[in-house]
Structure 1
Amino acid sequence: MATQRLGMIVDTKRCVGCSTCAMMCKSENNEPEGIWWNRVLTIGGEHLTTPSGTYPNLTMENLTVSCQHCNNPACVKVCPVGATYKDEETGVVRQDYDKCIGCRMCMSACPYTGVRSFNWEEPKYPIGIDTGDADVPKHQKHVVEKCTMCWHRLAKGLQPACIEVCPGRARHFGDFNDPDSEVSRLIREREHMQLLPEMGTNPSVYYLV
């Protein structure tokens, strides 16, 4: 069992679907063209950012989705080379690009569609240069990648970038193994959910509802 269980909480009542978290994630981690580790989905109509129902009786909610950093990660169990692994101290599910052989077994095993990406070609960038933190590992061809919980920032005692930039203060970060942490308090006091709890992965991302 990990010493910590670092994770996130997203308050769906405060999230306005602005995609600031997704854009900051992409910039901070120098994600290549076509790669998004963090996405904002719409629970509503048939298309993104459209409501369901008939005016004036419309409903729409926003749901940000990235790697769930599961406490019981299915991806770790199937990786044949240990490229996908759970950090023993923090509980963060990590990806070692140098070990990854591109078999994509982790993508097949993960029940959360679209949270992992595969680089089919050499990574390309719209402005032709790297962005983000200099400590972000270099993206590689033929490897799987995903949210790292901004590991390069955690190593410096900082929070993930998406937490700091959320204008609605809808995102919270902390240690679920610490009963006095803000995230532990929030899931004690507020109604919440996890994605696909029936899969037994026990995600470390909770959504306040």
Structure 2
Amino acid sequence: MANQRLGMTIDTKRCIACNSCAVACKIENNLPNNNWWNRVMTVGGEHLDAPEGTYPNVKMHNITVACQHCDNPACVKVCPVGATYKDEETGVVRQDYDKCIGCRMCMAACPYTGVRSFNWEEPAYHLDFSVGDPDVPTHQKHVVEKCTLCWHRLAKGLAPACVEACSARARHFGDFNDPDSEVSQLLSVRSYEQLLPSEGTDPSMYYLV
């Protein structure tokens, strides 16, 4: 068991689908073209930002989806070379690009569709210079990528970029093993859901409802 269990609570009642979390993630981590580690999805109608029902009886809410940093990660169990692993100190599910052999077993095992991407070609960028934090690992061809919980920021005692960028204050970050942390306190007073609990992965992302 990790000493910590770092993760987030995401308040679906406060999320306004502004996509600031997704954009902050992309810039902070210098993500290649077409790679998004964080996505905002609408629970409602058939299209993004479309409610369910007929006016005035409509309803919708938003779910931001990224790696769930599971306490029992399916991806770690299937990686044949240890490139996908759970950090013993923080509980964060990490990936070592230098070890990754591009087999994509982690992508197949993960029940959360779309939270990983695979670089089929040499990473390409719209800009001719890097953006974001200089401590972010260099993106490589033929490797799998996903949210790192901004590991480079955690090492400096900072919260993930998506948390700081959330203008609606819907995202909160902390240690679920600490009962006095903000995230633990929120779970004690709010109803919440996890994505696909039937898969037994026990995600460290909790959606307040």
TM range (shorter): over 0.9
Identical residues among aligned pairs (%)? 75
**Can you list the C-alpha shifts for 1:71-112, whole angstroms capped at 9, x where unaligned?**
000000000000000000000000000000000000000000
Tell me the distance in 1 between the aligned counterparts of 2:88 and 2:183: 20
> Which residue of the partner structure matches residue 172 of structure 1?
172
Q: SS in structure 1 opposite 2:207? A: strand
Tell me the matched-pair count: 209
Corresponding residue of 2:28: 28
- Aligned counterpart, 2:70: 70
Q: Does 1:201 align with 2:201?
A: yes
The ranges of structure 1 where at least 4 consecutive aligned residues each deviate by more than 2 angstroms after the TM superposition are: none
Question: Is 2:122 the partner of 1:117?
Answer: no
Q: TM-score, normalised by structure 2?
A: 0.99
Moved more, 132-141 or 47-56: 47-56
Q: What do the CA deviations read for 1:105-144 (whole angstroms, capped 9, x no partner)?
A: 0000000000000001111111222110000000000000
For the residue of structure 2 that corresponds to 1:14, the secondary structure is coil
- Rounded to whole Å, the distance in 1 between the matches of 2:108 and 2:14 is 32
Query: Using the alignment, how far apart are the partners of 2:48 and 2:92 within structure 1?
Result: 30
* Structure-1 residue corresponding to 2:10: 10
Q: Tell me what 1:100 maps to.
A: 100
List runs of 5+ in structure 2 lacking aligned partners.
Answer: none
- SS of the residue 1:9 aligns to: strand
Alpha-carbon distance in structure 2 between the residues aligned to 1:13 and 1:204? 19
| One-letter amino acid of the counterpart of residue 48, structure 2 | L
TM-score by length of structure 1 reads 0.99
